[in-house]
């Protein structure tokens, strides 16, 4: 954890700060990349538009925001000192604690001196003459860097619905991914929530009991199993610390990178009653067990998927008193696991409150935002507060926000018009020395566990290049096409492809094609492939 061997940041005659690596983002991936590169002696800094660290956990401070990976499987594992120096208070910790955790990490690793916060990166242009990137920020700062490393996520650019009149509303407004730092007074207010993905489900469950009235505008219901969160006692935490190596191993060997191991037996070797019994057991388990400790056939075959989905539908019908409301809350266009499931705590019970209304926007679409509220095709609603839980310009949105130009001045946005096309989500053709962490075609499952593989890869790659006098790396077009084809092939073996989901598919406005946004084969396979690329001399990349 020492910075002793880092170089001193220099400025050139043009007033540009000269670096080995410029990292965009101080979230989960930016923090680890910065730590690894500085520890290896590279002159690296990380810059973030947010005025605090933690990325996702800085911005998404809406009521109810919390993990659905077990906290102790989500943090950094690479330092025993770091992990043993932190106590998690719940199996799935809330946003404030997660944000505190990332601050703890940054301070423990002494990274703050190498971070610039509250500064948006506006452009990054490859300069072929010097073989460097010229990065500029909104503050007018200029950086000349050998490597550009992005840690900007695939779910970080908030999306607002394309409804006329948004600026007209005179009440309070918040997007879940840009929640005001000082909070929002919702007590006894007339509140609208648009969107019922993971953010909407958590928000609705948290604010339902305190608001004056709540109107939920739902376009698509999701399958939401209970999170089954519980506090962690100090004794349990002591036990967890004693098991960290085993927990880490488990996250590196189970498909999704969670602590939930697979059930290897075929569903078909059990009777329907036995399967039902197992589904009941799973319903009482935590978080992603419902996906990763379920029979594999549940996400591979329509019959078993329908069986488990019907089991969940029964639970919804049992928990929601009004059968008409329950019916609206049960998805009909996809089965469990075909979209990323939100996990809930008291979500369905909110709809039993007399002051809560569920509006199905497929029946009565949102027509406009008015000065006083929201008008659907049926009627106008008056609100004090509108909450947009409408998600993100997923996968490529954060990359589009920065003017990134590679060789020949081509923009990254243009080059990804057909969807992102990368080698393992790490690099893309036409953009030398651009290395992406937490980017497209790579994530899936427990996100920090994917990033951990990437950070290790980055660490060895940078050392390899330095040790061998290499200064440039770029993937080949063929390797990018091959990875994209591999991703598509894996997708075709699942039920994902049959589902509409902006989270899975590149849904950038103006995109003319689709490519799968995440890596669907899981964290373990992803890590294996990164190690293979490295062992084969960075196969798919040209180093010079
Ligand atoms: O965003 P979403 P999110 N009119 O895109 C609706 C992670 N996450 O922020 O489904 C009406 O899932 C949209 O409807 P539809 C997690 O990976 C994790 O909730 O497009 N509705 C949908 O209901 C997750 O997958 C946690 O038909 C409109 C909602 O808005 C990812 O972030 C917590 C609309 C958007 O849902 C994104 O989740 C939170 C319109 N015009 C998030 N436009 C954890 O628990 C959009 N919608 C760790």
User: pLDDT per residue over 34-77, tens digit each?
Assistant: 999 999 999 999 999 999 999 999 999 999 999 999 999 999 99
* 404 and 366 belong to one structural domain: no
Angle at 419 between CA 417 and CA 425, to 5 degrees: 125
Q: Which of 197, 450, 505 gets mutated to test ligand 1 (max ligand atoms within 8 A of its CB)?
A: 197
At 2 the pLDDT is 33
Alpha carbon nearest to ligand 1 atom 17, residue: 340
Kindly report each contact of residues 409-418 with a partner whose C-beta sits within 8 Å and lies 24 or more positions away, as own/partner. Answer: 409/125, 416/506, 416/508, 417/510, 417/511, 417/512, 417/513, 418/511, 418/512, 418/513, 418/515
User: pLDDT per residue over 150-165, tens digit each?
Assistant: 999 999 999 999 999 9
Chain-wide mean pLDDT for the chain?
94
CB of 397 shorter than 6 A to ligand 1: no
477, part of any domain: yes
- Interatomic CA distance for residues 201 and 340, integer angstroms: 13
266, part of any domain: no
Kindly report each contact of residues 526-530 with a partner whose C-beta sits within 8 Å and lies 24 or more positions away, as own/partner. Answer: 526/424, 526/442, 526/444, 526/450, 526/453, 527/252, 527/453, 529/424, 530/424, 530/426, 530/453, 530/454, 530/456, 530/457
Instruction: Return phi, psi of residue 213, to 5°.
Output: -150, 155
Which domain CATH number covers 436?
3.50.50.60
* 358 and 216 belong to one structural domain: yes
User: pLDDT per residue over 74-94, tens digit each?
Assistant: 999 999 999 999 999 999 999
* 379 and 364 belong to one structural domain: yes
- Interatomic CA distance for residues 27 and 35, integer angstroms: 12
Domain of 195? Answer: 158-223+337-391
Q: State yes or no: pLDDT of 509 exceeds 70.
A: no
Q: State yes or no: pLDDT of 508 exceeds 70.
A: no
Q: State yes or no: pLDDT of 513 exceeds 90.
A: no
At 502 the pLDDT is 60
Number of independent structural domains in the chain: 2
Report CA(157)–ligand 1 centroid distance (Å): 12
* 501 and 385 belong to one structural domain: no
* 472 and 444 belong to one structural domain: yes
User: pLDDT per residue over 112-136, tens digit each?
Assistant: 999 999 999 999 999 999 999 999 9
Grade residue 255 by pLDDT with cuts at 50, 70 and 90: confident
Grade residue 501 by pLDDT with cuts at 50, 70 and 90: low
> What is the mean pLDDT of the segment spanning 191-202?
98
Query: Checking phi first, is residue 417 left (phi over 0); if not, alpha (psi -120 to 50) or beta?
Result: alpha
| Domain end residue (candidates: 351, 370, 391) | 391
Q: Report the predicted TM-score, pTM, of the whole model to 2 decimal places.
A: 0.96
| Domain end residue (candidates: 371, 391, 411) | 391
Grade residue 8 by pLDDT with cuts at 50, 70 and 90: low
At 499 the pLDDT is 73
Contact 343, 356 (CB under 8 A): no
431, part of any domain: yes
What are the C-alpha distances in Å from 305 to residues 102, 120, 331? 37, 44, 13
* 177 and 30 belong to one structural domain: no
The residues pairing with 132 across neighbouring beta strands, listed in sequence order, are: 127
Grade residue 1 by pLDDT with cuts at 50, 70 and 90: very low
* 211 and 345 belong to one structural domain: yes
Contact 358, 402 (CB under 8 A): no
* 482 and 510 belong to one structural domain: yes
User: pLDDT per residue over 300-347, tens digit each?
Assistant: 899 999 999 999 999 999 999 999 999 999 999 999 998 899 999 999
Q: Which of 28, 160, 163, 219 gets mutated to test ligand 1 (max ligand atoms within 8 A of its CB)?
A: 219
Q: Which atom of ligand 1 is nearest to the CA of 195?
A: 30
Q: State yes or no: pLDDT of 515 exceeds 90.
A: no
At 3 the pLDDT is 39
Tokens 């799968």 found at: 516
240, part of any domain: no
What is the separation, in whole angstroms, between the first and last Cα of the chain? Answer: 31
* 198 and 124 belong to one structural domain: no
Q: State yes or no: pLDDT of 240 exceeds 60.
A: yes
Q: Which of 68, 390, 444 gets mutated to test ligand 1 (max ligand atoms within 8 A of its CB)?
A: 390
Max CA pair span of the chain? 76
- Interatomic CA distance for residues 249 and 495, integer angstroms: 28
Tokens 């002696």 found at: 41
400, part of any domain: yes
511, part of any domain: yes
- Interatomic CA distance for residues 396 and 532, integer angstroms: 26
133, part of any domain: yes
Report CA(439)–ligand 1 centroid distance (Å): 18
124, part of any domain: yes
- Interatomic CA distance for residues 502 and 445, integer angstroms: 17
CB of 361 shorter than 6 A to ligand 1: yes
At 119 the pLDDT is 97
* 356 and 455 belong to one structural domain: no
Distant-in-sequence, close-in-space partners of 5: CB < 8 Å, separation ≥ 6? 41
* 24 and 151 belong to one structural domain: yes
* 522 and 461 belong to one structural domain: yes
CB of 227 shorter than 6 A to ligand 1: no
């Amino acid at each position: 954890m020492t910075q002793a061997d880092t170089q001193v940041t220099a400025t050139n005659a043009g007033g540009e700060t000269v670096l080995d690596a410029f990292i965009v983002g101080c979230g989960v991936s930016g923090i680890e990349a910065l730590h690894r590169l500085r520890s290896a002696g590279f002159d690296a800094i990380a810059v973030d538009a947010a005025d605090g660290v933690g990325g996702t956990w800085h911005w998404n401070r809406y009521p109810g925001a919390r993990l659905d990976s077990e906290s102790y499987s989500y943090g950094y594992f690479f330092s025993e000192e770091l992990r043993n120096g932190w106590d998690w208070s719940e199996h799935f910790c809330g946003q404030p604690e997660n944000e505190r955790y990332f601050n703890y990490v940054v301070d423990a690793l002494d990274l703050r001196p190498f971070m610039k916060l509250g500064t948006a990166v506006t452009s990054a242009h490859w300069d072929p003459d010097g073989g460097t990137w010229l990065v500029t920020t909104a503050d007018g700062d200029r950086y000349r860097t050998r490597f550009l490393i992005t840690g900007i996520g695939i779910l970080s650019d908030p999306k607002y619905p394309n409804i006329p009149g948004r600026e007209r509303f005179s009440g309070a407004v918040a997007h879940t991914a840009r929640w005001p730092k000082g909070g929002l007074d919702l007590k006894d207010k007339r509140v609208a929530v648009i969107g019922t993905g993971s953010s909407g489900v958590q928000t609705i469950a948290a604010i339902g009991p305190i608001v004056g009235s709540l109107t939920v505008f739902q376009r698509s219901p999701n399958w939401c199993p209970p999170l089954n969160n519980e506090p962690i006692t100090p004794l349990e935490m002591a036990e967890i610390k004693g098991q960290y190596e085993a927990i880490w191993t488990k996250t590196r060997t189970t498909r999704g990178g969670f602590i939930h191991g697979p059930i290897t037996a075929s569903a078909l070797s059990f009777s329907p009653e036995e399967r039902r019994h197992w589904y009941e057991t799973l319903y009482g388990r935590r978080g992603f067990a419902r996906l990763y400790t379920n029979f594999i056939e549940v996400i591979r075959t329509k019959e078993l998927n329908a069986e488990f989905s019907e089991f969940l539908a029964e639970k919804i019908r049992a928990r929601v008193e009004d059968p008409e409301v329950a019916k609206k809350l049960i998805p009909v266009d996809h089965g469990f696991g075909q979209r990323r499931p939100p996990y809930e705590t008291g979500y369905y019970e909110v709809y039993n409150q007399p002051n809560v209304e569920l509006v199905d926007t497929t029946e009565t679409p949102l027509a406009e935002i008015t000065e006083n509220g929201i008008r659907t095709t049926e009627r106008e609603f008056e609100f004090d507060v509108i909450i947009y839980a409408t998600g993100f310009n997923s996968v490529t949105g954060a990359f589009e926000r920065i003017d990134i130009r590679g060789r020949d001045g081509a923009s990254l946005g243009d080059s990804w018009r057909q969807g992102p096309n990368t080698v393992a989500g790490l690099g893309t053709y036409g953009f030398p020395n651009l290395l992406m962490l937490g980017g497209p075609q790579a994530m899936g499952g427990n996100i920090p566990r994917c990033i951990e593989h990437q950070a290790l890869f980055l660490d060895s790659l940078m050392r390899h290049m330095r040790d061998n006098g290499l200064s440039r790396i770029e993937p080949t077009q063929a390797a990018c096409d091959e990875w994209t084809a591999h991703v598509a092939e894996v997708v075709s073996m699942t039920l994902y492809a049959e589902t509409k989901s902006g989270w899975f598919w590149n849904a950038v406005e103006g995109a003319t094609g689709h490519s799968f946004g995440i890596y669907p084969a899981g964290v373990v396979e992803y890590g294996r492939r990164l190690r293979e690329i490295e062992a084969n001399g960075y196969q798919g990349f040209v180093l010079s």
